[in-house]
Structure 1
């Protein structure tokens, strides 16, 4: 058995599409769609198994696409003129898709710049651009460039907004017509030849020769000078007269050339000959006559030319100078008619010549002065009336009234120069040419010594000598004051002159001498006098030196002890039987000065203890010599309880000295031993006696030492 089959057919289509676009991708034309190519084949299917078998593809309408010409678009060119035939298409071929791109055609334009004055083409500008676009080129910049060169615009048919490239294959032409600009140049707007006519175009046309002011205006001047005949200097305001001719040049601003002149001052050429183009300003063509001024107020005589005549002037004439001369006048000036330098010689002419230096009185009379000053040598102050002496010399100056200068001198006082050297023109007044001698005053009554210059000598004075100052100095007299010649402060140092300086404080006797005293008291313990006081003293003298002019102490010679005594010797204490002195001798005091206080010392006497029958001692109540009395106080006689002096200080010595600067020797004395050793009374007395001898011996040594120091 065979399987049964069924047959069917299937088809396949292949398309061709062509796109037409501009370069920017925009659609340029409708797409081309070709007739599709169709293919079919037979499909046999096994009814039992379902397997299929295929027959060959068969083209229904061919196996190729015909060539296609690209459409024409004005102003554009396709990158492919046609799409060529495509063959070999099968059922398995993919659809075909092609793109044709259109590029704008390059179009052209031309702008020509024409000089209408010369008919020549100045320049041309070739332009190009894509079809359908507008060119960015504008003629304004080029026109401005030509205007900077002196051109003026006549016409311009180039589109204001630029040429539009809408004429495919055609060169569009445009013209800009220009003409030469001209400008009048006259005296009121002269130029500088060689500089740009247009400052904004330094490389453009330049102003030609003949456009500067000196080429466009011609002023012919007559100058009248009024001069000093002697110096040639101007003496009066210069007079200038002028005749002016002007002309106007017409300049081609393109070529920078003068093309002619305008005699009316306009911008149109009416004269090509420059020499004939001049016109007189204000129709004035002559110089007027001029009268010379009167300068007598300035010191001048009449001029050599009274009037300068009238004169006609033509273009091309040269300037003329006329000099008119004036001579000088002179005047004498002396001490009787001195002047003030700098003021006008003629008061009615404040701007005229001035009186010169050397015409004032101080320049015509010379007084030389000697001044004698009497001065305090120490302070420099005046101590007596100043003395002045003088010698005077005079002279007469001859002054030029024009120059205001001294031209010489007259030794006779006239107006004729007979001496040109001013230093030799002086004459002494009253023929007196010296200073007399002057004796210095005696000022001893004012406290001064003799001056350092007793007489200021006579002296001859010559012109030109300087003033002289002589200082005579007086020194102060000084007087010593001491206790031998004390003074009374506040009274005149010079009794004959109650207004003279006064004696100062410190010159009275109390201020010049002082005493220092010593007192030594001898007392019992109860303060009663044991022996008469011993006294001593020394005197200090003071000397000062007084300035008799100022009344001041100028030197302090210090204090001096009379006989050189500056100490108090030690003095032996008196011996009182039955008593022992607290010190065998007073303390010596050294280094006394005028400032030392009085020295007071007190020596206290203590009653000696009684001697018992056993050789011992018993204390007794202190008492006065010869009283033989007992105090009745048994406790005072107990061993180990010695009686104490009632006012014993400083080991039984009372020293009340408050001496300043002095030294008290042996100021400390050992306390006396109380009778506790069993020594008998004779031993105690012996010891006291030995102590007194030692004190006397020490005082003697001190006295010899002081004497030796004084002798030294």
Structure 2
């Protein structure tokens, strides 16, 4: 028979390949074509065949893909990253499949390694895994990369987080150039935690008080506590009093109004600006009179004005002045040509209180800011006067106790002209009242006498004071204010004046409304300082009050002596007030305060030390924080009724900063029959009563951090560890002697009824690295019974062997 050529049906001689399918949990690792190894992806390609081609059998091998295996620490529970699914977060996590290539694993970031409180997962190289959400690690972690061999599992160990240390610091507001602390904000927190304190409001407060605030140490509330032991992270904001210039040509500031009108919430001008003196004048007055005191020519007057700038401290109100300068650089008081008076001639002149030639009034006088006003009088007498007594002069000067002319009134020298034996028509009353209104008190009136004074006949000499020169001596009046802060409604009662200052600008003596006024700087805030220390006791976990806040205040007072004329204040030294404070603070100290012992907690300070504040000490807040003591947590075996945690004891000697010892525990670690509790190192705990373990066990030693709990695991006892275990009554069989057995001795029957069935589980499982239970595997037989039956069988075997040997010898 002859065949034609093979032809493909429908001319289709191609065997199609198939795309490798993705199988969840598996990865393609190899492939064969017949008995040859091929690349797996060759099965996806088509093959051209002929009629003579053999069948093609290809096999693709899928191997289970590896897993990430979280090694969850014993006794802790992970947080389920996907609580809506049915997976246990403790289970291994499969490497993901590649959705398009079954020969490769997928993207690891699609999977999640669970979060375990107090622990951090690591990759095989010991690097911590990165959280899915850096702000919330409870959402889990990104797995490490899939290993080069994707069939290989990756263990994920969990490393216990290092115990964070309580750190401290402070934010201080200190006045520049001094050690005065205006505020001290304590900072406390764990290492790595943000400081948190926002100083914005405090900065605003001090700026309103007139300070410029500088963040010297670049404090930022977002910065974190370091991990350096016993290192206090202290930051300083420097408070610099703001100094504002005031010029004589500018607008005069008004007390208690904003320095910058565009910033109504900014600092305000202090009360002292009402007393600003930026200009002063020196005046020369020349008057022309006849020998009867009548004006014969118009009075001439000229003035020099001096100016200066001032710098105002917005905090304390102190004013610093610059140098005086003559306005327009003109410091000359011009003289005036003697006027011509018909029928009269200038014969005498007075310069302040001194007799001078009339021509001297025509000369210019250069003055400075310290010059007093110049009062000159030129006296004219008739050319053809009838024979009469000569004109006489009387001078009345108003001076202080040093003889210096007072400057607070316009004319401190008065001149009176008359004839010998005529009465001097003059009174000092008006000038004295003016001086009293300026704040002076009269020391001596050298002019006024009963009956009045008359002119003498002494001829006056040029260059000297007239023979009749009288002085009214005055001195500034002073008031010393001694505060008595025990009366909060009237802190500054009557000093040695019959008045009490209420506000600056009020009359010192209400009976003299036009008299001197109280200057700024004599209110309670100027003369009384109270420095307070507040001790707060709080629980760390929620900030609740742990004990009543203790507040101690030391009061300082000082006297102020006010010059009624100038308004200048001289302060006395600050002294501790022994009248206002409580008995325990009258010595000017903040006393030592012991922290109370609170059951179940330890304080971070046993005592707040005694301190002696000064008037410059800032108010202080001390926080004593109570941390909750940890507990021993018995992890009882399954089936046992759970026991409550046993709190660590407090120190029996009353120290609130340390816990007690295990021996001080009010409750022992509970006893569980058949089990022994262990400490964290795996050591068995000691019974309270070695003769009776049912009384419980002494807890293990406390951790370094007394707020940390200790879990107490229980391990099952081995048979030899069971207390009071009864010894077996059945003796061990003796080793049989060879000549004892007889050939016809029957073999002992195997016990029946009391033998446990094979594979029945034993009552206890041995712990690793501990002596194994004496139960035999799969049988439950006790070891000594087994030894008995084994020895019996061994003896029978020996007996049979001995009989066989004897028979063989007899046969020979």
Task: Judging by fraction of residues, say which structure has more strand.
Answer: 1
Q: TM-score, normalised by structure 2?
A: 0.21
TM-score (norm 1): 0.23
